[in-house]
Structure 1
Amino acid sequence: MIKDKIPLWFWCISIVVAIMLVFNLFQVDSRINMLALGILNIANAIRMWKKYRNSAIMFLVIGVLGTVLFFKYQFQ
Protein backbone atom coordinates (compact mmCIF):
# COMPACT_ATOMS: atom_id res chain seq x y z
CA MET A 1 0.00 0.00 0.00
CA ILE A 2 1.23 3.46 -0.85
CA LYS A 3 1.70 5.46 2.36
CA ASP A 4 3.00 8.70 0.85
CA LYS A 5 1.48 12.03 1.70
CA ILE A 6 -1.37 12.71 -0.73
CA PRO A 7 -1.03 16.16 -2.36
CA LEU A 8 -3.80 18.74 -2.22
CA TRP A 9 -4.37 18.77 -5.99
CA PHE A 10 -5.03 15.02 -5.92
CA TRP A 11 -7.60 15.47 -3.14
CA CYS A 12 -9.35 18.15 -5.22
CA ILE A 13 -9.44 15.92 -8.31
CA SER A 14 -10.70 13.00 -6.21
CA ILE A 15 -13.54 15.15 -4.84
CA VAL A 16 -14.53 16.26 -8.35
CA VAL A 17 -14.51 12.64 -9.56
CA ALA A 18 -16.59 11.56 -6.55
CA ILE A 19 -19.13 14.30 -7.35
CA MET A 20 -19.26 13.10 -10.95
CA LEU A 21 -19.87 9.51 -9.84
CA VAL A 22 -22.61 10.56 -7.38
CA PHE A 23 -24.22 12.61 -10.16
CA ASN A 24 -24.07 9.47 -12.29
CA LEU A 25 -26.23 7.64 -9.72
CA PHE A 26 -29.14 9.96 -10.54
CA GLN A 27 -28.58 10.40 -14.27
CA VAL A 28 -27.13 7.11 -15.47
CA ASP A 29 -24.70 7.69 -18.30
CA SER A 30 -21.66 5.52 -18.93
CA ARG A 31 -19.82 8.44 -20.54
CA ILE A 32 -19.69 10.22 -17.18
CA ASN A 33 -18.23 7.08 -15.62
CA MET A 34 -15.58 6.75 -18.34
CA LEU A 35 -14.57 10.40 -18.04
CA ALA A 36 -14.41 10.34 -14.24
CA LEU A 37 -12.36 7.17 -14.04
CA GLY A 38 -10.08 8.34 -16.86
CA ILE A 39 -9.38 11.58 -14.99
CA LEU A 40 -8.71 9.70 -11.75
CA ASN A 41 -6.36 7.22 -13.45
CA ILE A 42 -4.34 9.99 -15.11
CA ALA A 43 -4.12 11.95 -11.84
CA ASN A 44 -3.01 8.82 -9.99
CA ALA A 45 -0.35 8.14 -12.62
CA ILE A 46 1.03 11.67 -12.25
CA ARG A 47 1.07 11.33 -8.46
CA MET A 48 2.89 7.97 -8.51
CA TRP A 49 5.35 8.73 -11.32
CA LYS A 50 8.59 9.17 -9.33
CA LYS A 51 8.47 6.13 -7.04
CA TYR A 52 6.28 3.63 -8.86
CA ARG A 53 6.97 4.23 -12.53
CA ASN A 54 5.69 0.86 -13.83
CA SER A 55 2.34 1.24 -12.06
CA ALA A 56 2.14 4.86 -13.16
CA ILE A 57 2.59 3.88 -16.81
CA MET A 58 -0.16 1.28 -16.46
CA PHE A 59 -2.55 3.84 -14.90
CA LEU A 60 -1.65 6.37 -17.60
CA VAL A 61 -2.42 3.91 -20.40
CA ILE A 62 -5.73 2.93 -18.81
CA GLY A 63 -6.65 6.59 -18.29
CA VAL A 64 -5.82 7.55 -21.86
CA LEU A 65 -7.80 4.59 -23.23
CA GLY A 66 -10.78 5.57 -21.09
CA THR A 67 -10.57 9.16 -22.29
CA VAL A 68 -10.32 8.06 -25.94
CA LEU A 69 -13.39 5.86 -25.51
CA PHE A 70 -15.21 8.78 -23.90
CA PHE A 71 -14.54 11.03 -26.88
CA LYS A 72 -15.38 8.22 -29.31
CA TYR A 73 -18.83 7.74 -27.74
CA GLN A 74 -19.34 11.48 -27.22
CA PHE A 75 -18.97 12.40 -30.89
CA GLN A 76 -20.72 9.39 -32.46
Structure 2
Amino acid sequence: MARPLSSDLRTRVVARVAEGETVRAVASLFGLSVPSVVKWSRRWRATGSCEASPMGGKRRDVMAPGRDDALA
Protein backbone atom coordinates (compact mmCIF):
# COMPACT_ATOMS: atom_id res chain seq x y z
CA MET A 1 0.00 0.00 0.00
CA ALA A 2 1.33 3.43 -0.87
CA ARG A 3 2.19 5.99 1.77
CA PRO A 4 0.18 9.22 2.03
CA LEU A 5 1.72 12.28 0.43
CA SER A 6 3.25 14.88 2.73
CA SER A 7 1.21 17.35 4.72
CA ASP A 8 3.27 20.18 3.22
CA LEU A 9 2.26 19.20 -0.31
CA ARG A 10 -1.37 18.82 0.70
CA THR A 11 -1.36 22.25 2.33
CA ARG A 12 0.18 23.92 -0.72
CA VAL A 13 -2.30 22.23 -3.06
CA VAL A 14 -5.32 23.20 -0.95
CA ALA A 15 -4.04 26.77 -0.63
CA ARG A 16 -3.81 27.14 -4.41
CA VAL A 17 -7.37 25.86 -4.83
CA ALA A 18 -8.59 28.19 -2.07
CA GLU A 19 -6.94 31.13 -3.86
CA GLY A 20 -9.17 30.45 -6.85
CA GLU A 21 -7.12 28.28 -9.20
CA THR A 22 -8.97 25.47 -10.89
CA VAL A 23 -8.61 21.95 -9.56
CA ARG A 24 -7.37 20.72 -12.93
CA ALA A 25 -4.69 23.43 -13.14
CA VAL A 26 -3.46 22.70 -9.62
CA ALA A 27 -3.41 18.95 -10.27
CA SER A 28 -1.40 19.47 -13.43
CA LEU A 29 1.01 21.89 -11.73
CA PHE A 30 1.83 19.49 -8.89
CA GLY A 31 1.61 16.29 -10.95
CA LEU A 32 -1.35 14.90 -9.01
CA SER A 33 -4.63 13.35 -10.02
CA VAL A 34 -7.71 15.55 -10.14
CA PRO A 35 -9.67 13.30 -7.73
CA SER A 36 -6.91 13.64 -5.11
CA VAL A 37 -7.01 17.43 -5.28
CA VAL A 38 -10.81 17.38 -5.08
CA LYS A 39 -10.76 15.02 -2.09
CA TRP A 40 -8.16 17.09 -0.20
CA SER A 41 -10.04 20.33 -0.90
CA ARG A 42 -13.33 18.80 0.20
CA ARG A 43 -11.75 17.51 3.42
CA TRP A 44 -10.24 20.95 4.10
CA ARG A 45 -13.58 22.70 3.62
CA ALA A 46 -15.38 20.18 5.86
CA THR A 47 -12.85 19.84 8.69
CA GLY A 48 -10.31 22.64 8.31
CA SER A 49 -7.53 20.08 7.87
CA CYS A 50 -6.17 18.29 4.83
CA GLU A 51 -4.18 15.73 6.82
CA ALA A 52 -4.19 12.14 5.63
CA SER A 53 -6.48 9.70 7.37
CA PRO A 54 -4.73 7.13 9.56
CA MET A 55 -3.67 4.02 7.68
CA GLY A 56 -4.09 0.49 8.88
CA GLY A 57 -6.40 -0.59 11.59
CA LYS A 58 -6.80 -2.87 14.52
CA ARG A 59 -5.19 -6.20 13.82
CA ARG A 60 -6.77 -9.20 15.39
CA ASP A 61 -4.56 -11.76 17.05
CA VAL A 62 -4.57 -14.80 14.79
CA MET A 63 -3.27 -17.10 17.51
CA ALA A 64 -5.72 -16.00 20.22
CA PRO A 65 -8.28 -18.81 19.90
CA GLY A 66 -5.76 -21.67 20.12
CA ARG A 67 -2.82 -20.01 21.84
CA ASP A 68 -3.01 -22.01 25.08
CA ASP A 69 -3.27 -25.32 23.21
CA ALA A 70 -0.38 -24.45 20.88
CA LEU A 71 1.92 -23.36 23.72
CA ALA A 72 1.16 -26.36 25.95
Q: Same fold (TM over 0.5)?
A: no
**When the two structures are superposed, what TM-score results if normalisation uses the length of structure 1?**
0.29
**When the two structures are superposed, what TM-score results if normalisation uses the length of structure 2?**
0.30
Larger radius of gyration: 2
